[in-house]
Amino acid sequence: MAGLPTGRGSTMTTNADRVQPNETTVPLLHCAAPEETLAFWRALGFEVAFEQLRPYVYLALTWSGFQLHYGPAPKDLDPAKEHSGGCLVMVDAVASYHAVFAEAMRRSYGKVLVKGLPRMTRYRAGASRFSIVDPSGNTIVFIQRDEPKDVEYGGSKELDGLARVLDNARILREFKMDDRAAYRALDSGMRRRAEDAPAVEQAMALAGLIELATALDKADRVPEWGARLQALSLTPEQRTQVAQYVADPTLLEPWWPDPR
């Protein structure tokens, strides 16, 4: 056919070869609760670049170097099911983002929102991601740009006993954002696996239970976990390991006073 390149020496120019690589991708999220969504992101320090509620919803918010845009939600969308949508935000230092948003929440709400809608997942020292769930049920995930490609998502065959329970609970908490499942896993693990587990693993599980019980309004069981934690004998290095398993080590202080 005329016009088609022929012969081994011919070359073809693709559309991608003619495009200057300077794209910007902006997520467009469902917005089932416009007023609440605007109030939440403003509380976290976002600026509203565009606001339209009629004849249809369109919101544009900016913070630092990224944007979030919102459009109309399906009429049957239930934000509580958290199936609205979401996006990934790749950053160089994820811990600093969590710290800034946590400070903004404390300033605006008097506390860090860790349950219900909206909320932000806890950040454990050394973790590579955290999530914010907005009032419309969208999940915005902040991820360390150099997050290891071989992140273990639980169920490692190299782990067994309580160590495997701890790993699975970490995945449920940090990646699946399911505090209740993580709590159940640790509670069951302590009943079935603690007897033969090293003291440091027992302490990590108890610390996780204290943190999760506090978040899930199961505070009546915290004294039980705390007393068991207090009875364990750990080295300073092991105490550090336990503290790093939870996002807020200050929750352990009533049961685990500073040894210095």
Q: Any idea what the Cα angle at residue 83 is, between residues 144 and 43, rounded to 5°?
A: 60
CATH fold of 28-144: 2,3-Dihydroxybiphenyl 1,2-Dioxygenase; domain 1 (3.10.180)
Under the banding of pLDDT at 50, 70 and 90, the label for residue 152 is low
Question: Which of the residue ranges 46-55, 140-149, 150-159, 213-222 would you say has the lowest mean pLDDT?
Answer: 150-159
End-to-end CA separation in angstroms for the chain: 85
Tens digit of pLDDT for each residue in 74-122? 999 999 889 899 999 999 999 999 999 999 999 999 988 888 899 998 8
Q: What are phi and psi of 80, to 5 degrees?
A: -65, -25
Question: Among residues of the chain, what percentage have pLDDT more than 90?
Answer: 57
Type and span of the H or E element at 98: helix 94-109
Structure confidence at residue 248 (pLDDT): 84
Structure confidence at residue 229 (pLDDT): 93
Structure confidence at residue 151 (pLDDT): 57
Q: Is the Cβ–Cβ distance between 255 and 226 less than 8 Å?
A: yes
Tokens standing for residue 168: 């699975």
DSSP code, position 74: P
Number of H helices, E strands in the chain: 7, 8
C-alpha to C-alpha distance for 228 and 188, rounded to whole angstroms: 15
C-alpha to C-alpha distance for 242 and 240, rounded to whole angstroms: 5
- Starting at the edge strand that comes first in sequence, how are the strands of the sheet with 47-52 ordered? 28-31, 66-72, 58-63, 47-52
The count of residues in the chain is: 260
Structure confidence at residue 4 (pLDDT): 46
DSSP code, position 232: -
Tens digit of pLDDT for each residue in 163-193? 999 988 988 887 777 888 999 999 999 999 8
Structure confidence at residue 92 (pLDDT): 94
Between these two residues, 37 and 157, which has the higher pLDDT value? 37
Omega before 55 cis (within 30°)? Answer: yes
Ranges of each domain in the chain:
28-144, 161-252
Omega before 118 cis (within 30°)? Answer: yes
Query: What amino acid occupies position 165?
Result: V
